[in-house]
Structure 1
Amino acid sequence: MKIFLTGGTGYTGGETIGHLLDAGHQVVAIARNVPTQAPVRDGLHWVEGDFADGALIERLAREADGVLHIGASHDADMERLDGIFIRAVGDALAGTGKAFVSTSATPVYGDTGPDPRDEHEPINNPLPFREWRMRHDNEVVGFADRGIRSVIVRPGLIYGKAGGPLSWNITRARATGKALYVADGRAASSAVHVDALAKLYILALENDAARGIYNAASDETILSVDIAETIAAFYGPGIVAESWPLDEARNAIGGFADLSNTRCIVSSARARRELGWLPVGPTVLSELVGGSYRSGPLAPYGLGQAKAAQ
């Protein structure tokens, strides 16, 4: 298949490109700044452009066999640009039966409580600053009525390959001497290894039966206090794990403080049952203690990306 992909210069999209090419697919990746140092691989073609160019998005989507939307602008314009993108794809693919796989995030569920949340329950109390993402999810799922095989993937905390929010946490802790967790750090999150997530994307693109929303998470749940204490223990010297009072965190990072203090536990039983997905991989703590974050250089990850990924 020829896949039109967004987010190829980012963490998750960059890793997913390799999986797509290894699976025999061709990839057309859009980027505001086409990478000059990226490895050259057969089947990969870069196009310069951004989400504001609806005409370009529509053309690239129409020329592809499927669309995989992973990228985001990671700024105050993220909702508007995401809306332009998904609507351009909807117009391009209407009536074709082609796959449109778009990425959401588990925080749309709000505080799940201690029990894993599946995709079928109504979302009554989404986190306010992620409510727009829930609306966009519903819009994409509704593209089924326009003859599009639309899929939403909702990952938990994405980690592995020395990248993602964990790389930013480590970099910040080394710079400040503090590995912070909000409030008591007891808010638990589901997690997914980036390689396992890439494999789910491919299953969703290839399987004609894949439709609707799929959570993407292993059975592991991780506490922010455990992440902070592990970073303090293994990425020092001189790093201490420390609570960040909720009010102070809100003043510094706004609604992301509340997200970091919210339980977000999900079940991926649907993806496993219907698509045969196996979210295997090293755990978060094993990656931190003796895995990729210890053995290789940390992948660059800016504050805006770290926030947006939560």
Structure 2
Amino acid sequence: MRVLLIGGSGYLGTVLAEHLSTLGHEVVVLTRPAKANTETPYERRVGDLTDPASLTAAVTPDIDAVINLGQPSGDEAVDRAAIDALTAPLRGTDRAFLYTSGVWVLGATGDTTADEATPTNPIPIVGYRPAIESHVLATAQDGVRATVVRPGVVHGRGGGIPAMLVDLARRQGAPVAVADLSVRWPMIHVDDLATLFAMVVENAPAGTLWHGVTQPAVSVRDLSVAAGQAAGVSGEPQVWPLEDARAELGALFADALALDQSVSGDAVRDRLGWQPSNTDAVADLAAGSYR
């Protein structure tokens, strides 16, 4: 397949582009005009998620699938317009469109492990994203093989939110967790997530939603201790008060880091045969890619 990848220069995007290429797919990266001259090993097209005409122009008949890893703009109307522009050329063709959401749309899950049928209860940082998910999935009625993937907290290759825990531990001289040591995060290795994306874009039926999670509920206390090991510091984890974290990171992001969740990713294993194979998050932090 020829796959138009939006967000191909980011943390997940670079790994996904590499993985798709290894599988024999041709990757075409959508680049913002300001980065049009940036080096890339892939074919490039220029467009911007705030410019619908540029998006529609990028989805030419030779494109078999579109994967949108782009960050939400913060404006629901802008994001809806981007989805409409990207899917307009796909309508009636059964070509694939994959939209990237995230498990934060589920909100705090309590003692129940959430799956794809669990109602959404989004925290403010992703407040309108469930509506965008529904907007994407509705295009399946117009002949788009539309799917949504909700990744957990991504780790691996020394990047993602766990890298922030390592940096905090290094700066504070001790392991650090935001707000509450009892918080749990659903986790997934970036290479396993890339494998999942490829399986979904290749084989998933239209109108389906998938959770990208390998570990449903990893203790942030354990993650912070492992991050301290990666940073070369030890001792009991320190709690970073939520108000202090909000002041430095912004309230929306800090509140997301304090969100306690348990989320299942079993559906994609059972229905598509996904077989994640990479190391778990705590081991990756303590003795893997973050050292």
Correspondence list, 1:269-280, <5 A: 269-280=266-277
Q: Give CA deviations for 1:24-75 in whole Å, capped at 9, x if unaligned.
A: 111110122147454x3xxx212233212211211222431110111216xx
Distance in 2 between residues matched to 1:121 and 1:222, nearest whole Å: 20
Which of 259, 262, 270 aligns to 2:259? It is: 262
After superposition, what is the alpha-carbon deviation per residue over 1:201-251, rounded to whole angstroms, capped at 9, x for unaligned? 111111153541100111352222222222223413589732112233334
The correspondence of residues 1-310 of structure 1 with structure 2, limited to 5 A, is: 1-32=1-32, 33-34=35-36, 36-38=38-40, 40=41, 44-63=42-61, 64-72=63-71, 77=74, 79=76, 81-123=78-120, 125-177=121-173, 179-207=175-203, 209=205, 211-237=207-233, 241-252=237-248, 253-294=250-291
Could you tell me whether the CA contact under 8 Å between 1:190 and 1:264 is conserved in 2? yes
| Partner-residue secondary structure (3-state), 2:221 | helix
Contact 1:106 1:155 in 2 (8 A): yes
- Name the aligned partner's letter for residue 20 of structure 1: L
Give me the identity figure in percent: 32
- What residue identity is the alignment partner of 2:51? D
Moved more, 60-69 or 233-242: 233-242
Instruction: Provide the rounded CA distance (Å) in 2 between the counterparts of 1:114 and 1:99.
Output: 35
SS of residue paired to 2:209: strand
Cα pair distance change 1:85/1:179, threshold 3 Å: farther
CA contact (8 A) 2:4 2:29 kept: yes
The one-letter code matched in structure 2 to 1:258 is D
The amino acid of 1:53's aligned partner reads: D
Q: TM-score, normalised by structure 2?
A: 0.90
Alpha-carbon displacement from aligned partner over 1:138-164 (angstroms, at most 9, x marks no partner): 110111111111100001011111111
Coordinate RMSD, CA, aligned: 2.2
Unaligned 5+ residue runs, structure 2? none
Please, which runs of 5 or more residues in structure 1 have no aligned partner? 295-310
> Retained in 1: the 8 A contact 2:152–2:185?
yes
| Contact 1:185–1:261 under 8 Å retained in 2 | no
SS of the counterpart of 1:4? strand
Q: Deviation of residue 78 (structure 1)?
A: 6.3
Pair 1:240–1:214, CA change in 2 (3 A)? same
What secondary structure sits across from 1:226 in the alignment?
helix
The change in CA–CA distance for 1:167 and 1:234 in structure 2 (over 3 A counts) is closer
- 1:80-131 deviations in Å (ceiling 9; x for gaps): 55333212112221111111011000000001112321111322x3213312
